[in-house]
Structure 1
């Protein structure tokens, strides 16, 4: 790796320069104002080293940041309220994983698939485990406010993003029972078929659960039984009582999940909760689609001008590539959604095939050669090592053409998408221990981006 050490030294110098420059408010303001224009000019951010596609996909753990980022991840002592009943110490390891999944610079990019599901699972497990001593599966309004604040302080102290509540839409009310009429453990177990619930969810089939819904159906049945207790107590008319039926069942689902977390070891509870959350995650496309007029104009009239059509489509997709990392199944949904939008705009020819659009084109772009990174559809975590840096499972070699929709209607379910074979998890990751100069350039660019994200 000729020139590698010199580049690392330059990297330290560059970051130090950025720190010094940002002590001057005017410079930081100008950098902030120019941030959007820089992104608009770039087709995609360079985040990871490029790996050439092969006939046999060989995903790996790409190092998102080398050791120079270590100073930005030092732990600090959080200022806790002292008024929270949750035992954070008992889940020290899980809190560390959560803070790593939500590292300051990467939380917005991994929010939908990695960070927020892990945050939600950790909160559920914290309350579930505490119920062994409090005999309640929820927190009151005042305590929940203190606990959420303490939770965030602990994560931020370990390097997590300081805007997790906003990024993940987590509120203190999410830690209460909401409108569910049952939160007492004894009453819970006398109301639902707890043995059947535990049997259905303690050994969840994380690959097939999303389609077979064995655990999900058991949770739904238990939630309905809990919600029904409210209607048995109500003296109001039936129409009014049923008006909030859906939200009440949803609140009771949170209580059910906490009970499950109290009966399982934290590691198993996390596996179950993250598996269930991914069932919902993989059903939808998380991307926001801007106005399609430019593509419709370029690709209308039967793709009379292929160069113009593909240019407009490429430009449009480049905006999607800046939003976030997506899973392979989410990419499938995104491709279907965009295809349906184009079909409804009278673009009936397969422009994906004409313009060589693949599923990876819907995910955040990585590497010097702009290759999309598809995350696995099964839950995964970010890994931080002080020697090697930050890494997560990412398949850069799996070139799957984006399927053009057969009609102007969205496919009913990912369980029915049998035409495109996508592995639930990439093959065993092949470690990458050395990088050439172009890889180091990608690292250099990424580390500067991360430093600026933290500073600005």
Structure 2
């Protein structure tokens, strides 16, 4: 039923047959049982909550967690609190209310088809809805401390590509977070090189306050675009894969590779374990290729085994459909006839770059890197990718369930 995809095979379009699928949560939703004790206004972000439910759909949530589901959930939490601050004047919830609100949010999302284990999948706790260690939580105090015009000017509209390389909004958020973190502190004269660890934690907690304030000024849909764009800068910097022990690869490919077949068999077996973990973006694949390459070098493998064994970037992502996700923010979508779908970049049969001894993980900000599947230098193409290589992959849930068993 699924196309056979080998590490050396060319990418094939994937369009599964549409089988009857259990999509009842999206077509016959029931009212969730809410606590009645949460102060958040869910109605104002109703569309946002629906998008989050689809992004974190039951079966896909663990597979799309790092790229789509968790960034969307975190943005939703910030926007809900930010919007409620218009009425409450508070940019954080207290401990008791935060527990009720997180439970209510989970009830609403699960009722619309989301995974019922989102708190664990995305490492979300009720404390994430409070001010944590940040000393400022009231809107009035925030606005009297921060240059809000400067902050809003830097973040009201961001270019999701340029912002990651030239962090205008991120720098403004850091500046604002640092200002409010020092509100009740006696370390006003500290420079960045002497900040105590506890103060660094406080600044990070205050960044959440800043994001919520921004969300209150931008509106749910606009705020989502900004917050997802900012989160993607961090998402694409890190390889999310866990690399298992590579002793078998070291044995098969070490000492100058005396047996190419044995080496590539060991290499392909190793990569097959990576392909079962999650979907990743094309930029994450670059980082994963560089990270694995450096680990292989440290295992005394000096030959370019990527080229020898025809390992490409897509070999680092979930391989049931041979898919790398776009590096710009994207969402899953729901259609009553076709089910859940999301964007895949199938122009990804690009050889994985073998690192030299001193090479750092690849970055999209490195102008020497030319990969067709990566986004253009500006957002002028409205989220499209070079060579028009974006394809919508339609996945029927019953087929996916059988695939994962």
Task: Provide TM-score, normalisation by structure 2.
Answer: 0.89
Whole-angstrom CA distance in 1 between matches of 2:390 and 2:285: 21
Whole-angstrom CA distance in 1 between matches of 2:290 and 2:265: 20
| Corresponding residue of 2:134 | 180
Any unmatched runs of 5+ in structure 1? 1-45, 235-239, 434-438
| Corresponding residue of 2:342 | 392
Whole-angstrom CA distance in 1 between matches of 2:244 and 2:226: 35
* Partner SS for 1:384: strand
Q: What do you get for the CA RMSD once the two structures are aligned?
A: 2.8
Q: Which has the higher contact order (CA 8 A, sep 6+)?
A: 1
- Tell me, yes or no, if structure 1 residue 327 matches structure 2 residue 281: yes
Cα distance, 1:432–1:254 mapped onto 2, change above 3 Å:
closer
- Tell me, yes or no, if structure 1 residue 144 matches structure 2 residue 94: no
- Tell me, yes or no, if structure 1 residue 228 matches structure 2 residue 182: yes
Whole-angstrom CA distance in 1 between matches of 2:283 and 2:93: 35
Deviation at 1:397, TM superposition (A): 3.4
Deviation at 1:302, TM superposition (A): 1.0
Which protein shows a greater Rg?
A: 1
Whole-angstrom CA distance in 1 between matches of 2:279 and 2:85: 35
Whole-angstrom CA distance in 2 between matches of 1:47 and 1:111: 23
Aligned partner (choices 197, 209, 220) of residue 151 of structure 2? 197
- Tell me, yes or no, if structure 1 residue 69 matches structure 2 residue 22: yes
Deviations 1:132-159 (A, max 9, x none): 0000100011110000000000000011
Check whether the contact 2:180–2:206 (CA below 8 A) recurs between aligned residues: yes
Deviations 1:379-426 (A, max 9, x none): 111111111111100022321110000225533744226334242253
Any unmatched runs of 5+ in structure 2? 189-193, 376-383
Aligned partner (choices 294, 310, 313) of residue 356 of structure 1? 310
| Corresponding residue of 2:265 | 311
- Tell me, yes or no, if structure 1 residue 423 matches structure 2 residue 377: no
Check whether the contact 2:345–2:389 (CA below 8 A) recurs between aligned residues: no
Number of matched residues?
A: 387
Q: Which has the higher helix share?
A: 1
Whole-angstrom CA distance in 2 between matches of 1:219 and 1:161: 31
- Tell me, yes or no, if structure 1 residue 411 matches structure 2 residue 361: yes
Aligned partner (choices 176, 193, 205) of residue 251 of structure 1? 205
| Corresponding residue of 1:242 | 196
Whole-angstrom CA distance in 2 between matches of 1:111 and 1:432: 18
Check whether the contact 1:284–1:330 (CA below 8 A) recurs between aligned residues: yes
| Structure 1 residue runs of 4 or more that deviate by more than 6 Å after TM superposition | 46-50, 57-60
Deviation at 1:75, TM superposition (A): 1.8
| Corresponding residue of 1:39 | none
Cα distance, 1:305–1:393 mapped onto 2, change above 3 Å:
same
| Corresponding residue of 1:379 | 329
Deviation at 1:67, TM superposition (A): 4.5
| Corresponding residue of 2:378 | none
Deviations 1:221-268 (A, max 9, x none): 00110111131499xxxxx99340110000000000000000002111
Cα distance, 1:254–1:76 mapped onto 2, change above 3 Å:
same
Whole-angstrom CA distance in 1 between matches of 2:243 and 2:347: 26
Deviation at 1:54, TM superposition (A): 11
Whole-angstrom CA distance in 1 between matches of 2:304 and 2:55: 38
Cα distance, 1:49–1:394 mapped onto 2, change above 3 Å:
farther
Whole-angstrom CA distance in 2 between matches of 1:395 and 1:109: 16
Check whether the contact 2:343–2:393 (CA below 8 A) recurs between aligned residues: no
Task: Provide TM-score, normalisation by structure 1.
Answer: 0.79
Check whether the contact 2:346–2:391 (CA below 8 A) recurs between aligned residues: no
